[in-house]
Amino acid sequence: MKENRVITSGLYALWVLLLSSVVVIAREVHVESRMLEDDAVGIAVFPFENRGDISLTENRPDEIMAANMDFSPRFRYFESVQEFDTLVFQDSLIAMYLDGYYRIENDTIDLTVRLVDAFRDDVIQQRRYRYTATGARRVAHRFSDTVYERLFGETGPFSSYIYYVDRDERGRNIFRIDYDGHNQRVVTRGELNIMPAFGVEGDLFWIGYERGKADLYAGNLRDGTRKPLFASRRVESSPSYCPSSDRVAFASSHRGSMDIYSIRRDGTGLRHLAHSPGIDIAPSWSPNGYRLAFISDRSGTPQIYTVTRDGESVERITYGGTYYDSPAWSPQGDYLAYTSRRDGRFDVFMSAADGSGEVNLTKELPGNHQYPSWSPDGAHVAFQTQHAGASNIWLIRVEDGAAVKITTSGSGGMPAWTRGN
């Protein structure tokens, strides 16, 4: 489809083209000694008991939580285990299980759910939720995150969102969906809003065309405010937010060539970080805010470079191909994901942060794959795939390449996965 092409050429080529819960029980738990060979925790999810007269027929919390456990490589989900059996649990090394019960009264669902240590028969976490049908998926994701945090001491990925660009009746706008593809909502209104980048406390940054050219915008999803953050007489592109410095990096041609800048979230303190006679674009902050990865063609072809936050110490880190785009740091800062064109097609690659150990993540998938964005736990990468005339968002598990499509509109792209809930 011709209408999809604006978001499938990559950031470098695009610039060239455009010149309520209650905690009841909480126990300490250590699962290291009961992990499976792949360091995953064996877990089962039992069907939740209905203690009322009305049964849930859709958005069942047990089914949503089971899908969450199956999604994460930190768990080994045993779908066939529906009740506790000592021998089965011991033979399969199932260390944990979830069970619960609910009652529906006056359109309100009263749910109690437990995380249980199967070997000790000990309740690790128990929570009660009261919610309406519209909150069902959020509640299930929240408790799944609780399980993740209790067992691994890290923020879970299940309540995270993915922002992305899609077509609506106005044009191209930014949408938000749950990580599993549910609960889609549009968050911008206009003819062309692209390149979303998430901030903190509901902040979102993007490139909008309200003035007929590409400007940097900032908005807040909680209070509905929005404003131009940086709008020169030329072109702005590819924002990336850094929580530790409260600054937004972006590319701009307001001094002539396309260079990398950063600016405070309130629109003050503009800094010029990277510049060359050619094109510098697509900045991405490292998690600690000390370095930026970006694309530059200063060597003759688009390659990935890094620069310190003060604009010093520029280093080239890619040498294996002739076209790179859209670098993205992993949440731990040890890997980069990026787009590279090889043999006439675009794929998503990952490497160590210094460029070594490159792996093609999408080589087994048909089509062209671009705009990688990491999950909050670093286990998955979201990306845009164009295949058979359609563009959609896919997720791929880094450790084994298992991939799933989460949008079906045929015009989705440029995903940005939120870090945290």
Half-sphere exposure of 98 (CA within 13 A, CB side): 31
Q: What stretch of H or E contains 150? A: helix 136-152
pLDDT in tens, the chain (421 residues): 334 434 445 666 555 554 433 344 445 554 544 445 568 999 999 999 999 999 998 999 999 999 999 999 999 999 989 898 889 998 889 999 999 999 999 999 999 999 999 988 899 999 999 999 999 999 999 999 999 999 999 989 999 999 999 999 999 999 999 999 999 999 999 999 999 999 998 999 999 999 999 999 999 999 999 999 999 989 999 999 999 999 999 999 998 899 999 999 999 999 999 988 889 999 999 999 999 999 999 999 999 999 999 888 999 999 988 999 999 999 999 999 999 999 999 999 999 999 999 999 999 999 999 999 999 999 999 999 999 999 999 999 999 999 999 999 999 999 999 975 5
* Domain residue extents for the chain: 41-152, 161-417
Residues present in the chain in total = 421
Q: How far apart are CA 186 and CA 195, in angstroms?
A: 14
What are the start-end ranges of the E strands in 161-200?
161-167, 172-178, 185-186, 193-198
Query: Helix H segments across 2-135?
Result: 10-18, 61-71, 86-92
Alpha helix stretches (DSSP H) within 214-349: none
Q: Are 190 and 208 in contact (CB under 8 A)?
A: yes
Separation of alpha carbons 304 and 340, rounded Å: 10
Please enumerate in sequence order all residues whose Cβ is within 8 A of that of 118, keeping only pairs 6 or more positions apart, or say none. Answer: 44, 84, 89, 94, 95, 96, 97
Q: CATH number of the domain at 161-417, out of 3.40.605.10, 3.40.50.720, 3.20.20.70, 2.120.10.30? A: 2.120.10.30
Closest CA to 326 of 9, 1, 91: 9
DSSP string, 323-388: -EEEEEE-TTSSEEEEEEEETTEEEEEEEETTS-S-EESSTTSSSEEEEEEE-TTSSEEEEEEEET
Q: Return d(Cα 326, Cα 284) in angstroms, integer.
A: 8
CA distance 172 to 194: 7
Please state whether 207 falls in left (phi above 0), alpha (psi between -120 and 50) or beta. Answer: beta
Contacts of 253 (CB under 8 A, 6+ apart): 19, 232, 234, 235, 259
Q: Please give the DSSP secondary-structure letter assigned to residue 354.
A: T
Which residues, other chains included, contact 293 with Cβ-Cβ below 8 Å and sequence gap of 6+?
283, 284, 286, 304, 305, 306, 317, 327, 328, 329, 336
The Cα–Cα gap between 329 and 285 comes to 7
**Tokens encoding 178:** 């749950």
pLDDT confidence of residue 102 = 98
Coil vs helix vs strand at 40 = coil
Among residues 283, 344, 293, which one has the least CA distance to residue 317? 293
Task: Give the other-Cβ count within 10 Å of 244's Cβ.
Answer: 12
Model-level pTM?
Answer: 0.90
Residue 312's pLDDT is 87
Q: Which two tokens stand for residue 137?
A: 């998926």
CATH-assigned architecture of domain 41-152 = 3-Layer(aba) Sandwich (3.40)
Structure tokens at 69: 């456990």
Q: Quote the tokens at residue 152.
A: 């691994």
Rounded Cα gap, residues 79 and 51, in angstroms: 23
The position carrying tokens 């260390």 is 95
Positive or negative torsion for Cα 211, 212, 218, 222 = positive
